Amino acid sequence: MRNKFFLLVLLAVLLFISGCFHENKLTSEERAYLEKKKTITFVSQNRYPPFEYVNNYGQITGMSIELARWMGIEYNFQPRFLHTTFANAKEMVLSGEVDVITTFFYSRKRDKKYEFTDMIFRVPASIFVKDNNTTIQGSEDLNGTTLAIQRGDYALDFLASKNINYDIIYTDNFEEAANKVITGEADATVADEQIVIHYLKDNNLLNEIKIVGDPLYVGKDCMAVAEGNDILVSILSKAVRRAKETGMLKKIEHKWMGTKLTPAYVKYIPYLILTLLVLIGLVITVWYWNISLKKQVYLKTMDLRKREKNLLDILRAARDVAIIKAELVNDLWKIVIFNKGASRLFGYESEEIVGKSILKLFSEAEKEGIQDLINQIISGNSEIKHDGIKGEMDFRKKGGENFPTLFTINPVYDNKGVVNSIILVATDITKRKKAEKAIAESAERMNALINASPDFICFKDEKGRWLIANETALELFSLKNVDYYKKTDAELAEIVGDCYKEAFINCLRTDEEAWKSGTVYRSEERIVSSDGTENVLDMFKVPIFNENGEKKNLVIFGRDITELKRYEKEILEEREYLSVTLRSIGDAVISTDVNGKIVVINRVAEELTGYSRDDAVGRDIDSVFNIVDRKTGKSLESPYKKVLQSGKNISLENDILLISKNGDQYIISDSGAPIFDNEKNIIGVVIVFRDITENEMMQNELLKMEKLKSVGVLAGGIAHDFNNILTAISSNISLVRIIKDEKKAEKIYEKVDNSIERAKKLTNQLLTFSKGGSPVKKITQIKDIIKDTVDFTLAGSNVKVVYQFDPNTPPLYVDSNQVSQVFQNLAVNARDAMENGGKLIIQVEKADITDDKKLNPGEYLKVKFIDEGKGISPETQQKIFDPFFTTKAGGAGLGLATSYSIIAKHGGTIELDSKEGEGSVFTVYLPVNKNIGDMPDIYDDTIGRDKYEIKERDVFKGKRIFMLDDEVPILESSRIYLEMIGFEVTTAASEDEVFEKFHKNLFDIAILDLTIPGSRSGEQILQDIKEIDGSVKTVVTSGYSENDVMRNYKDYGFDECILKPFDFLNLENILQSLLNG
């Protein structure tokens, strides 16, 4: 009965003790979880000392790591450790790659994604600044500064919650952030105190940086798992509480942080009280059981010794694993067993090492640490009670060489529960470490290679999340300061802004195309950066699948081809430009290869040679470009041969005649130039030539510009109005000559006779300024032209003119208006040369030319303008006839160039003889035509007039003619004459009348005035007339010959033209030619 009572008391005490610790025991569900799971994978940060970091041997260590190892021992599971950056660690937990992150601050925001254990450590986060920084005293001074902050750290959320604005530099760890402050790249960092201070101490940098203000917050350092893993977080929380209750957490802090531990006896006070209660029951119970136990102990002891002996025999014989036993002798752990595997590993024979301290086997750097572990064994620490101590550490061979090992140290207890020996089991992991180092170095080399590449390189996972990207890729998308790891294109687009949104969307599309293709996928992608710059990339996307055919990774390579695209565009534009230029250029162009075969021929060259492009390309140049000497008719050598021989640009004289395929002849000027490749080798020849037979366009442009100088536009406008009057007068006079009624004739003479000569003379003077183009020659007395022009030009000036004319001066066949312009220019030059007045002598005499390079042999009229001016320098004389060369302020430089061209077109030339300070002599040579008596004078109204009989012509009989003119007198006189020669005449003085009458009648011929005041022009009205009656023949008339329509009337749709003033005989001839044509 008494024995039962004692047993009940003992049971009650034990149940009480058990209840005190019940909350830290695992439930059946938790134990089942661990039995099934077996291994718990922890992920830690590479650099977060002293909590966790990778040491110099590549091993992960620190306070959190030791705590996790202790948890494994305490709750019988195998911890597995991985290490990476903090940002990656968070993602690995969420993705399920690992179970637990070892160091993670609690926050409400994070609590939505993670499950947190009880708090393990308190970690204050403070502001660190450069030691000499006085501007930042607290968080209120952080606005507008540059902060270095670890990617993904809680400080980012905290600063955002305080609405602090700052520029950020992302770092992979707190040490890097501290260095940014020390080097001045950042103004400050917000970081965990223990980590930064630990780093500063280890690197003697405490004087470089300081803490300012109070901590911004105190982080609650916990372990964390993914949201929903309630069982595992419960196990870990119980382990944390257990570590606190047993004092293990304090020991870990003491080891790493150097803080003073609470006296050992304090933590045992609660247990002492319980122990006293237990002892009362135990003393009684022990006494009761003592006798029986002694016997059992003896038997068990003998059995254990036997088993120990057998085990020792096995251990000594083992060759593949180093097994060492050490016993505590005088506070030294001396080796008592050193098996064959240990001999092979360390190089000692058993006899050499037995009896020596076990510390002899460890490297100097590890001795202190191993001694600390052994001290824990002696203290009976419960964390190593069952499974001992496991880890990696450097051991030392007999020769002093250190090598890495994977080891375990297990305590051996005597029958009193006291550790009396330890068993060390070690395995050489040198090869594994080398392999790990090689992998790490290979990864570093790969990263260096990737970052050194100027091409875009990026690796994505099967979900399109970014894993690795080189500097080029980050810079292209402005991601250098962005935590891009495991973020999709859509997520990155939200971070960097709308400017990249389209590019990211396109990336998603081409990613899908690459996965669908299952092989290398190539595309062009355009990325517009934040500054508006567009980059074009030639992208190669390589999908990688696992052995089951499932998506694994997408490797992306991109080469920037922006410049290449620009060059391609420029080349295409240049080709198009060259093509358009060759098609539209006014000059003819033929390009050949070095063998003289035609490669390119433009439209103008086709027209001049008579060969189409299809016919010409591939032919020999001589068969298409057939040129002869203009004077002799002899064939000339092709310019392409001269270019090949000289290797230089060449220009040929203008006396070249091009004979086309159909026999047409063109006077041309041409030049040739070699075509070189990049190495300056001639690969072809280009020949450029133009038709200068008439060269109207160039001459007309020169004359236009000269007339602007001489207010020719104004003169031409006035001449137009006067010619209308003159036409009316002239036509009425023509009527008078055929009307027999003297009274009617007298009335007409009274109206016009007094003004006709004056108007005509004034009109001719004004036309001297306005008329240009190719010469319209007539028989003229040159003396009259000279005198009229010079007197008119120099009227009112202080220049005295002396005329010295040969009385036998013959008449010339010239365009009086153009030649008058030459004399006007020479008179103006003489006047300008004699600023203070002087004498101008003009001599006219005949000259016979027999040998002159500029003139053909024959009789010429020589006109000299001799002034008393300041003379012309030799340099200026060389350029005096060049277009646009002038020595006058405000001058156009076209007067003498135009004059030279006009005289050349008349078959003559101009020469200059001058000396500075002695005046100048301009000599004009004009050819005398011996057959001048046979030349028709188109402006002589008297030719054949007396013999001409006005009567109805059969060719005109019954023909309908329409005439539009704003001058009613012209219409009236023209009606009378045209009806007399047989026409049915309809007239109109305005545009409105034209269409009314054309809709009512059909006409054979229409005469249209070019200029109708307040109405459209004659060429515009012509278009509407042609739509009504496309068969009507048309004649354009105007008093202003300079108009382009008059010069090129057929280009505007007219059949003939007649200048005002005109007489009816000329008009009749034109009308007859139209009807007969």
DSSP assignment of 936-1004 equals: --TT-TTTTTTT------TTTTT-EEEEE-S-HHHHHHHHHHHHHTT-EEEEESSHHHHHHHHHH---S
pLDDT-derived band at 307 (thresholds 50, 70, 90) equals: low
Average the pLDDT over 144-152 and give the result. 91
pLDDT-derived band at 330 (thresholds 50, 70, 90) equals: confident
Domain with CATH 3.30.450.20 in the chain: 318-434, 453-560, 567-693
Average the pLDDT over 791-811 and give the result. 87
Lowest mean pLDDT among 18-32, 386-400, 693-707, 939-953: 939-953
**pTM here?**
0.32
Average the pLDDT over 551-557 and give the result. 90
Rounded (5°) CA angle 476-481-483: 100
SS (H, E, C) 818-880: HHHHHHHHHHHHHHHHCCCCEEEEEEEEEEEECCCCCCCCEEEEEEEEECCCCCCCHHHHHHC
CATH 3.30.450.20 fits 318-434, yes or no: yes
Task: Please write the tens of the pLDDT for every residue from 937-961.
Answer: 433 343 344 445 667 788 888 899 9
Phi, psi of 932 (to 5 degrees): -65, -25
Dihedral (Cα; 1023, 1025, 1031, 1035), 10-degree rounding:
-80
- The SS3 of residue 1037 is strand
Residues 6+ apart with CB under 8 A from 457: 450, 468, 469, 470, 472, 473, 556, 557, 558
Q: Which two tokens stand for residue 683?
A: 């690969």
Question: Would you state the pLDDT for residue 103?
Answer: 92
Question: Would you state the pLDDT for residue 336?
Answer: 85
Side chain identity, residue 174: F
Lowest mean pLDDT among 304-308, 471-475, 1019-1023: 304-308
pLDDT-derived band at 90 (thresholds 50, 70, 90) equals: very high
Average the pLDDT over 184-205 and give the result. 88
Q: Would you say residue 655 has pLDDT above 90? A: no
Lowest mean pLDDT among 120-134, 248-262, 742-756, 995-1009: 742-756
Task: Kindly state the percentage of the chain with pLDDT values over 70.
Answer: 79
Residues 6+ apart with CB under 8 A from 719: 763, 766, 767, 770, 1039, 1040
Mean pLDDT of the chain: 80
Question: Would you state the pLDDT for residue 293?
Answer: 63
pLDDT-derived band at 376 (thresholds 50, 70, 90) equals: confident
- The SS3 of residue 1063 is coil
Q: Would you say residue 81 has pLDDT above 90? A: yes
Question: Would you state the pLDDT for residue 714?
Answer: 40
**Nearest CA to 2 among 284, 290, 280?**
284
Lowest mean pLDDT among 76-90, 480-494, 1033-1047: 1033-1047
Lowest mean pLDDT among 309-313, 362-366, 1064-1068: 309-313
Residue 733 or 801, more confident = 801
Question: Would you state the pLDDT for residue 921?
Answer: 94
Q: Would you say residue 97 has pLDDT above 90? A: yes
Class of 567-693 in CATH: alpha beta
Q: Would you say residue 717 has pLDDT above 50? A: no
Q: Would you say residue 109 has pLDDT above 70? A: yes
**Nearest CA to 541 among 454, 449, 459, 452?**
459
Question: Would you state the pLDDT for residue 127?
Answer: 95
Average the pLDDT over 248-272 and give the result. 63
Average the pLDDT over 835-850 and give the result. 90
Residue 283 or 1033, more confident = 1033
Taking each helix axis as running N to C, give the angle between helix 712-738 and helix 696-709, from 0 to 180 degrees, rounded to the nearest 10. 100
Q: Would you say residue 93 has pLDDT above 80? A: yes
pLDDT-derived band at 314 (thresholds 50, 70, 90) equals: low
Average the pLDDT over 23-34 and give the result. 86
Q: Which two tokens stand for residue 410?
A: 């297990």
Pick the CATH number of 714-749+938-1077 from 3.50.50.60, 3.40.190.10, 3.40.50.970, 3.40.50.2300: 3.40.50.2300
Question: Would you state the pLDDT for residue 104?
Answer: 92
Taking each helix axis as running N to C, give the angle between helix 248-257 and helix 230-246, from 0 to 180 degrees, rounded to the nearest 10. 80
Side chain identity, residue 756: I
Q: What is the CATH topology of the domain spanning 777-934?
A: Heat Shock Protein 90 (3.30.565)
Residue 194 or 38, more confident = 38
Q: Would you say residue 189 has pLDDT above 90? A: yes
Question: Would you state the pLDDT for residue 313?
Answer: 57
**Nearest CA to 748 among 763, 729, 726, 767?**
729
Lowest mean pLDDT among 801-805, 904-908, 948-952, 980-984: 948-952
Task: Kindly state the percentage of the chain with pLDDT values over 90.
Answer: 21
Residue 614 CB neighbours (<10 A): 9
Question: Would you state the pLDDT for residue 989?
Answer: 87
**Nearest CA to 712 among 1047, 1043, 1061, 1052?**
1043
Q: Would you say residue 44 has pLDDT above 90? A: yes
Question: What gap in Å lies between CA 1049 and CA 362, rounded to an integer?
Answer: 114
pLDDT-derived band at 166 (thresholds 50, 70, 90) equals: very high
Average the pLDDT over 649-653 and give the result. 74
Class of 26-117+224-261 in CATH: alpha beta
Which CATH superfamily includes the segment(s) 453-560?
PAS domain (3.30.450.20)
- The SS3 of residue 403 is strand
Domain with CATH 3.40.190.10 in the chain: 26-117+224-261, 123-220
Average the pLDDT over 35-64 and give the result. 89
Burial class (CB in 10 A: 0-12, 13-18, 19+), 824: buried
Residue 467 CB neighbours (<10 A): 14
**Nearest CA to 977 among 755, 749, 739, 742?**
739
Q: Would you say residue 201 has pLDDT above 90? A: no
Question: Would you state the pLDDT for residue 42?
Answer: 96
Lowest mean pLDDT among 156-170, 665-679, 725-739: 725-739
Q: Are 55 and 202 in contact (CB under 8 A)?
A: no
Question: Would you state the pLDDT for residue 238?
Answer: 94
Residue 869 or 385, more confident = 869
- Exposure string for 347-370, b = 16+ CB within 10 A, e = fewer: ebeeeebbeeebbebbbeebeeeb
Average the pLDDT over 216-236 and give the result. 92
Question: Would you state the pLDDT for residue 292?
Answer: 65
Q: Would you say residue 265 has pLDDT above 90? A: no
Question: What gap in Å lies between CA 516 and CA 539, rounded to an integer?
Answer: 16
> DSSP assignment, residue 135?
S
pLDDT-derived band at 865 (thresholds 50, 70, 90) equals: very high
Question: Would you state the pLDDT for residue 261?
Answer: 36
Residues 6+ apart with CB under 8 A from 843: 804, 805, 862, 863, 864, 866
Q: Would you say residue 731 has pLDDT above 80? A: no
Task: Please write the tens of the pLDDT for every residue from 465-482.
Answer: 998 888 888 888 888 888
- The SS3 of residue 153 is coil
Q: Would you say residue 392 has pLDDT above 90? A: no
Burial class (CB in 10 A: 0-12, 13-18, 19+), 302: exposed
Q: Would you say residue 367 has pLDDT above 90? A: no
CATH of domain 123-220: 3.40.190.10
Lowest mean pLDDT among 49-58, 436-445, 488-497, 1025-1034: 436-445
Cis bond before residue 969 (omega within 30° of 0): no
pLDDT-derived band at 836 (thresholds 50, 70, 90) equals: confident
Task: Please write the tens of the pLDDT for every residue from 882-933.
Answer: 766 667 755 555 678 778 888 888 888 999 998 888 899 999 999 988 766 5
pLDDT-derived band at 275 (thresholds 50, 70, 90) equals: low
Residue 759 or 334, more confident = 334
